[in-house]
Structure 1
Amino acid sequence: MTTPSLRRKNNRRSTNSNPNNSQKNQMAPYASSFYSKFRMSPFLISAVLFMSVLILLSVSLNMRSALGSNPNVSGIYSVDAVNQYPHDPSAFTQGLLYAGNDTLFESTGLNGHSSVRRVALATGKVEAIHSMHRSYFGEGLTLFGERLIQVAWLTKTGFIYDRNNLSNIKTFTNPMQDGWGLTTDEKILFGSDGTSTLYQIDPHTLKVVEKHTVKYKGNEVHNLNELEYVNGEVWANVWQTDCIARISGKDGVVLGWIYLPQLRERLVATGHENVDVLNGIAWDPKQNRIFVTGKLWPKLYEIKVNAMKKPFSGDIESLCMLPPTHF
């Protein structure tokens, strides 16, 4: 924002005996005070602007704390696990979100085992659960106001629940080609259907209002799965990979990749051989915490995202951009 310059007027005191000049002379102290205030205005404005910049910088640095602070030309990131929490190893995690007060909501899949549940972060305890009919395979989940919105796989069906008691409020027709992932920026819903399409859905009408093809270096990124809105970006698990794509919700361009195979590999190395793929991202915007887990994982991790300290030795496209899957 530009600030217009305030020019100080030159009011020279006149010794002319003209009565009009005398009246002007009587007004001079007030004029001097008035213009003195205006002379101070640029300094006040500069001080306000300086403090505003400091506040914005502080907020920016705070928001980036969980994402790492080093510039990364390659756009490829690794992670450190800064905390780990228990997670139900029988939960086939399909949707995950943080709802404040160290509480998570989770959608699980598999016919006959699908559910929506409220989970205590620290203990992994399931505090409340809604078991779905065995004909449904639970998928993506998001929270919009007091409503939990969930989609199911292969059925074009979605469900809305009361967040307080997980009672099923209504069923709706999923406007996407299939139901895989859901998230929100609290204005619009973002959805995925296992293809390279990122949908924008009106949360009130539940109709698609816009969609983009997700691309990296001009090539489509298929198999978009669980979604999370993180600090202005849409993050997506890419199914069957150890990759999270950081996507611009405005145009679908991949802004960067988070590559985190070590979490799953660590579980396998410690005897958890039945773990399935990485799936589930939750963002705590107040404390700048990112949580991830996977299908049938006994752990949920709080992670910090870091720029790669060394050039990435692998081929991120072959690791994260698999051919499209059809069911």
Structure 2
Amino acid sequence: MHTIKALILTLLGFSIISCGNDAKEKTNLSITTNTKTNVFALGETAKLSIENPKGLDISSVTYKMNGEVIDETLQLDDEKLGIHNISATVKFGESSEDITTKITILNNEVPKIYGYKIINTYPHDITSYTQGLEFYKGELYESTGQYGESKLRKVDYKSGEVLQNINLSRQYFAEGLTIFNDRIYQLTWQENIGFIYDVNTFEKTSSFKYGKSKEGWGICNDGKHIYKSDGTEKIWLLNPETLAEESKLQAYTNKGKIIELNELEYINGKIYANRYQKNGVAIINPKNGAIEGVIDFSPLHKLVTQHQGLDVINGIAYNPDTKTIFVTGKRWDKLFEVEVFEK
């Protein structure tokens, strides 16, 4: 068990935040919970109360979580994981005061460890700094990064032959890609812009600005929503028509948040996310952000040609035709087709 926990921490790393109160000094009113740190696990009950050291005659309290009215007793069964804003409007006499705090909701299960079996190995362009990888209608598409090297490609995955290619302007550092309704969505890193292409012609048809997320890292879709990572623990849900960030997930284990989520792929109801600078992939529940599993792909790094520019794994794609997963990395000369299994 200790070995499994160590592997999870090595592959992902985590950070836990203890959320305290943000109360005004005027009345010394504050929101308290039934835990000292305001940290709860999914399935637990949060009980809210008002600390009233001056003994004010409180007539009513209205609690809200993320702007929605809640009861003072909150059963945390179906909530999204991560940090949530709790507010209270406290009325006393003819006055009222708004006070706030935060709570953190963790998953209630340890992530499962998954292994893999290599089915096939294919050639891959060793110069490609892979940022995004996705199959669409049997074809493999790839986005590569670095300033002056960023590209959008369609590739024959069996031979490695480049079938279509667009070089981005040197001012852009390309990141992840996803394909939805015959449109390719490609992110850039810090340029705050994404590009949309026609999947058949590779013609750039439009672009979009990021909203609440400052950077572009990974992107995928489930046929209804587009999911975007920004280098933090957050995964944003984008409206597929307007590209507006309508809501977000926060990726958490039973110990804390997982930051630097990178390339994303939606596979059989789950989001698979590469973790930057880690040769592992997190399996995330798209309903609440829970990291339910970890795949250790680190041995693949030793199976590719070792050279000065070699970097970590970053590129995961699911092929519905073969029902297998394809994995590569930044400046890897191989593309691996694998089957994943729970250990």
TM-score (norm 2): 0.66
2:272 is matched with which residue?
235
| 1:251 Cα deviation after fit | 0.7
Question: Partner letter of residue 157 of structure 2?
Answer: L
1:134 is matched with which residue?
170
Q: Select which of 295, 311, 314 maps to 1:276.
A: 311
Q: Identity of counterpart residues, as a percentage?
A: 39
Write out the 4+ residue segments of structure 1 that deviate beyond 4 Å after TM superposition.
none
Take 1:116 and 1:207, find their aligned partners in 2: how far apart are those partners?
23
2:263 is matched with which residue?
226
Match runs of 1:205-216 below 5 Å: 205-216=242-253
Residues 1:195 and 2:229 aligned together: no
| 1:180 Cα deviation after fit | 0.3
Take 2:225 and 2:248, find their aligned partners in 1: how far apart are those partners?
12
Take 1:173 and 1:273, find their aligned partners in 2: how far apart are those partners?
35
SS in 2 for 1:220: coil
Q: Select which of 157, 160, 182 maps to 2:196.
A: 160
Greater Cα offset, 298-307 or 134-143: 298-307
Question: Partner letter of residue 213 of structure 1?
Answer: Q
Take 1:106 and 1:74, find their aligned partners in 2: how far apart are those partners?
29
Q: Select which of 133, 140, 144 maps to 1:108.
A: 144
Take 2:114 and 2:165, find their aligned partners in 1: how far apart are those partners?
35
| 1:285 Cα deviation after fit | 2.2
1:302 is matched with which residue?
337
| 1:273 Cα deviation after fit | 5.1
Greater Cα offset, 298-307 or 271-280: 271-280
1:148 is matched with which residue?
184
Take 1:239 and 1:122, find their aligned partners in 2: how far apart are those partners?
27
Q: Deviations over 1:170-198 (max 9, x none)?
A: 12102322100000001000110010001
Question: Partner letter of residue 216 of structure 2?
Answer: G
Number of residue equivalences: 234
| 1:272 Cα deviation after fit | 4.2
Take 2:155 and 2:321, find their aligned partners in 1: how far apart are those partners?
19
Q: Deviations over 1:136-181 (max 9, x none)?
A: 0000100001100011011111100011121111121023221000
CA contact (8 A) 2:111 2:292 kept: no
| 1:213 Cα deviation after fit | 1.1
SS in 1 for 2:304: helix
Match runs of 1:251-266 below 5 Å: 251-266=288-303
Q: Select which of 278, 291, 304 maps to 1:267.
A: 304
CA contact (8 A) 1:282 1:291 kept: yes
CA contact (8 A) 1:142 1:150 kept: yes
| 1:275 Cα deviation after fit | 1.8
CA contact (8 A) 1:130 1:167 kept: no
| 1:264 Cα deviation after fit | 0.4
Q: Deviations over 1:201-250 (max 9, x none)?
A: 11101001110111011400001000000000000000000110000111
Take 2:111 and 2:284, find their aligned partners in 1: how far apart are those partners?
15
SS in 2 for 1:215: coil
CA contact (8 A) 1:199 1:208 kept: yes
Q: Deviations over 1:56-111 (max 9, x none)?
A: xxxxxxxxxxxxxxxxx86001111110111010000000001133x211000000
Q: Select which of 120, 126, 140 maps to 1:83.
A: 120
Change over 3 Å in CA distance of 1:225–1:74 after alignment to 2: closer
CA contact (8 A) 2:111 2:294 kept: no
Q: What are structure 1's unaligned runs of at least 5 residues? A: 1-72, 309-327
Q: Select which of 129, 139, 143 maps to 1:92.
A: 129
RMSD of aligned Cα (Å): 1.5
Take 2:239 and 2:201, find their aligned partners in 1: how far apart are those partners?
24
Take 1:108 and 1:119, find their aligned partners in 2: how far apart are those partners?
12
Q: Which has the higher strand share?
A: 2
Q: Which has the higher helix share?
A: 1
CA contact (8 A) 1:231 1:285 kept: no
Question: Partner letter of residue 159 of structure 2?
Answer: T
